Structure 1
Amino acid sequence: MKNYTELEVWKFARALVKSVYQLTKHFPNTELYSLTNQINRSVISVPSNIAEGIGRQSDKETIQFLYISKGSLFELETQMYLTFDLEYISEDQLKVILEQLSSCKKLLNGFINYFKNKL
C-alpha cells in the first residue's frame, strides 16, 4: 500500500477541508462554537480517518475507519444544506461544495470496495 499522502481519496478530502474552512471563516461569530465548530470537525474527520485506517494492521480495521470517513461526509453534506438554509452560503457555494463531496464519496466508495474485495 502506498503512503496515504499519495492516495487520490486523501488528496480530495484534504482539498475539501480547505474549501470548507474558507467558507466557515465567514460565518457569524455566534456560530463559532456550534455549527462552525461541528462543520470543521466533520470535514477534518474525513482525511484523518482515511489516514488512520491506512495505518491499521488489518484490512477489516482499515474498512472500519473508511466507513467513519464516509459517515463524516454525509454529516458534512447535511451541515452544508443547513448553512445554505440559514443563508450563510450562496447556492453557488453550496453547489461547489456538494460537487467536491460527491467526488470524495465516489473515491471513498471505490477505496472501500478495494479493501472489501481483498477480504
Structure 2
Amino acid sequence: MPTIKNFEDLEIWQKSRILCQNIDRHCLKNNKFQKHDQNQIDRSSASASVMDNIAEGFEREGNREFANFLTMSKGSAGEVRSQLIRAFDRNYLDESTFLMLKDEAINMSKKLSGFINYLKNSEDKGNKFNRNKENE
C-alpha cells in the first residue's frame, strides 16, 4: 500500500467532502430550512466537523491521535444523521433526498469505524514516531 502524503488523498476525506457538498446543496441552500437548522447541520456536517477532523488528525502524524480525531468525525456523522431525520420530520427534505443523504452519513460512519480499527491494530505508530527512529 503506498504511503499517503496528504489528507486529500484519503478516501474517507474525499467521501466526507462529497457529503459536505450534498449537505450544502440539499440543506443549506434549501429555503424550507429555518436558519437555526441550517447553522446546526452545517456545523456538524462534513464541512465543519467530519471533514476537518479527518484533516487535523492526519496532520498530527500519530496514529493514536488520528484515531481519536476519526472518532470525533464519526460522532459528527451520527449527529448529521440525527439532524437529517429531524429535517425530514419537519418536511424540509423529500424522502428520496433524505434517504440518499442518510445513506451517505451511514456509509461515512462505517468507513470511519473501519479506519479507526485499522489504526488501532496497526504496528506502525505514525510518521512522527517513524522520524524519531530515523534520527536515532
Counting only pairs closer than 5 Å after superposition, residues 62-77 of structure 1 correspond to structure 2 as 62-77=66-81
Q: Which has the higher contact order (CA 8 A, sep 6+)?
A: 1
Runs of 4+ in 1 over 2 A off after TM superposition: none
In 2: Cα distance, 1:27 partner to 1:109 partner: 34
Is contact 1:27–1:36 with CA below 8 Å preserved after alignment? Answer: no
* Alignment correspondent of 1:113: 117
| TM-score normalised by L of structure 1 | 0.92
Matched, 1:22 2:2: no
Size of the aligned set, in residue pairs, is: 117
Is contact 1:63–1:115 with CA below 8 Å preserved after alignment? Answer: yes
Matched, 1:6 2:9: yes
Considering only CA atoms, is the larger Rg found in Structure 1 or Structure 2? Answer: 2
Q: CA deviation at 1:64?
A: 1.0
Aligned residue among 41, 44, 47 for 2:43 = 41
Range with bigger deviation, 15-24 or 57-66: 57-66
In 2: Cα distance, 1:77 partner to 1:102 partner: 8
Q: CA deviation at 1:95?
A: 0.6
Structure 2, gaps ≥5 residues long: 124-136
Instruction: Say what the alpha-carbon RMSD is for the aligned residues.
Output: 1.3
Identity %: 36
Q: CA deviation at 1:58?
A: 2.1
| TM-score normalised by L of structure 2 | 0.81
